[in-house]
Chains A and B, each alone.
Chain A
Amino acid sequence: MSNEAILRIKDLKYTYSGGDHQALKGISLDVMPGERICIVGNNGAGKSTFFLNVNGVLHPDSGEIYFKGQKVEDNRASLNELRRGVGIVFQDADNQIIASTVMGEVSFGPINLGLDDDEVEKRVDEALTEMNLSEFKHRAPHYCSGGEKKRITIADIIAMHSEVIIFDEPTAALDPLNAKMLEEALTKLADQHKTLLISTHDMDFAYRWAQKLVVFSDGQIIATGTPVEVLTNEAVCEQANLRKPMLMRVYEDMVKHGIAPDDKAYPQDVAAFDHWLESIKAS
């Protein structure tokens, strides 16, 4: 089953009704179950618009979306099926949180799925435990800190048991500690075989975390592949104004100055870099 795409997007085009130009100019992407994908690109490249289309909130002008092999039609049942399976954690938690207690907020999705009270309560508790929010259950979300609000919005989606979870620039408003907690939460979700799509401007994060990097530029995908594949392509980096991750630059500089062999190792996190240093020292 893992060689069938959970989400297949074909030539998706979208223009905002008030907008003068196409925000998405033909996007095609296959997402495999359990994949960790990072989406990078300038502001205004169309990442958020793409996410809203993939979740069925916006309706594409043309193009097709297949969810688990089923074509998504423009009717309520089909769209609800898509929304059930694909959850979005929005960029601005303040514009997502609608309830006045954390419990109420997290229960909103499960209630809309038509679950009974016991099941809703079970899912809320589960999601809150998973995001370390149990003691916040009866608090008002508006009085929580930015990091806590972000975790609440993630719990919102976890409680819906979506297979695919989309994060729109989750690290944008977080301090380093909360960003680290977020990354741990993301890893936990990945370990549960959730499919994760994350848009970010943090190239270091994308480099060490993603299995696949997708580069958006002006409403189009200009590159897909592993982070190393994409980021070693100078033309792509140039066009999308991508800043190379620090570790990659260090590695490339070491190779350039002949300190290290050109072994294409590309260590992607600090631990791997350490390990790599040990191995080249030994040889």
Chain B
Amino acid sequence: MHYQYHVIYLLWLLPPLAVLIAGGIRKAWIHRHEEHHHHGFGHKHGEGTLSIDMYAYHSKIGSWNPKLKIGYGLLLLLICLISNDPYVSFGIIFYTFFVTVCLGELDADHYIGLLGIPLAFMIAGSIFILFNFSHTPFSNALVNIPTHWGYVIITPQTAKATVNLWCKAFGAISAMYMMSLSTMSNEIFGVLRDAHCPKLIIELMNMMYRFIFILMDTQHRMKNSAESRLGYTTFKRAIYSFGSTASNLFLVSMKRGTQFYDAMEARCYNGDLRFFEEKKPVTKQQLFWVIVPTAYFVLVWVMTFQGVNINV
């Protein structure tokens, strides 16, 4: 391995990082006179949750053309997966951070919190890639950890595969977050419709999506009501309260779902959930933020070529 190259390759991360830092400073400068508050983003404890498109609604890049945004999200996802190149992945992570937090003005703490959600899954998922198990130590291993049953081994290959996997997954998640945190659900469904995705599938997605939010909102109301009657004061009581709300949850949600459906049917709904959308033209500025970084990532990919690997 030519480790010295990797040190040089790291320089490729400087431009995206610089953009991110510059964006952060600019954002802080613009908002310097405001008291620090959380811009109404996210759910504080006790607030309602039936705000499906809360993030997209508040996002400053919500006015970008949805086709462009979705297409760009998918493109970055693909670049990330196909290049299999940690430098490209990290570039994408920094850049999408910049887009969502600096251009879109989502609260940075909140964004990091959201990125943390898939972290647990990634750690759990990568354990079996990182570690090998054997009765005898490996000579080429990075570490051989002796245990009662045998050796737990990390080899350079598994370490590299894990790092690659993490970078790839994080890059892909960032790209998808950039898209979904700034695009209204109906715009996403609209783009799918324009892409000739089968109507039934779109409709099912839409209904499930809505029902999940009804479920969450109902759960939330019931929890508030139980909490106000001291239902969550002790652990035992909390379990009991949760149990009894959970059993009711489904019934109440079904009822609310039916009411929604009735209201939709009353307005001549016939299996095609469509709303009038604002026309959001593509501007030069939007194109700039799309084309320049993409060109840069392709360049990084070529310069730090790791070989194509679609498998891992």
Contacts and interface: CB of A to CB of B under 8 A. Distances in A.
Interface of A: 52, 55-57, 76, 80, 83-84, 87-88, 90, 92, 94-96, 98-101, 103-105, 107-113, 117, 120-121, 124, 138, 140, 142-143, 156-157, 160
Nearest to B274: A111
A83 B186 contact: no
B276 A156 contact: no
B270 A140 contact: no
Contact of B53 (A56, A57, A100, A156): A100
Contacts of B265: 57, 83
A109 B53 contact: no
Contacts of A100: 52-53, 56-57, 184-186
A13 B268 CA distance: 23
Nearest to A113: B268
Nearest to A104: B275
Interface in B218-262: 256, 259-260, 262
A117 B275 CA distance: 11
Contacts of B267: 83, 87, 108-109, 112, 156-157, 160
A143 B51 contact: yes
Contacts of A121: 276
A140 B270 CA distance: 24
Top 3 closest A-B pairs, CB basis? A107-B276, A104-B275, A112-B268
Given A90-B263, A112-B274, 7 more contacts: A101-B184, A101-B275, A103-B276, A104-B275, A105-B275, A111-B276, A156-B267
A100 B276 CA distance: 11
A99 B263 CA distance: 12
B161 interface: no
B50 A94 contact: yes
B225 to A, nearest CB: 16
A124 B263 contact: no
Contacts of B48: 142
Contacts of A90: 259, 262-263, 266
Contacts of A124: 276
A98 B51 contact: no
Contacts of A101: 57, 184, 275, 278
B277 A104 contact: yes
Contact of B260 (A76, A98, A142): A98
Contact of A109 (B54, B260, B262, B268): B268
6 contacts: A55-B266, A103-B278, A104-B186, A109-B267, A111-B276, A112-B268
A96 B263 contact: yes
Residue in B48, B54, B266 with the greatest tally of chain A CB atoms within 10 Å: B266
B269 interface: yes
Give the dominant DSSP class at B's interface: loop
Contacts of A108: 264, 267, 269, 274-275
Contacts of B278: 101, 103, 138
B193 interface: no
Q: Chain B interface residue count: which class?
A: 20 to 34
Contacts of A156: 267
B210 interface: yes
A64 to B, nearest CB: 20
Contacts of B273: 98
Interface in B197-226: 210
B270 A95 contact: no
B266 A88 contact: yes
Contacts of A52: 262, 266
A154 to B, nearest CB: 13
B50 A111 contact: no
Nearest to B57: A140
A142 B259 contact: no
Interface in B105-147: none
A145 to B, nearest CB: 14
A206 B189 CA distance: 44
A92 B268 CA distance: 19
Interface in B176-198: 184-186
Nearest to B268: A112
A197 to B, nearest CB: 13
Interface string B270-293: 101111111000000000000000
Contacts of B53: 100, 140
Contacts of B263: 88, 90, 95-96, 98
A27 B288 CA distance: 65
A80 B210 CA distance: 24
Given A100-B52, A108-B275, A57 B260 contact: no
B270 A76 contact: yes
B268 A95 contact: no
Residue in B260, B269, B276 with the greatest tally of chain A CB atoms within 10 Å: B276
A1 to B, nearest CB: 25
Contacts of A112: 267-270, 272, 274
Residue in A92, A142, A156 with the greatest tally of chain B CB atoms within 10 Å: A142
Contact of A142 (B50, B210, B277): B50
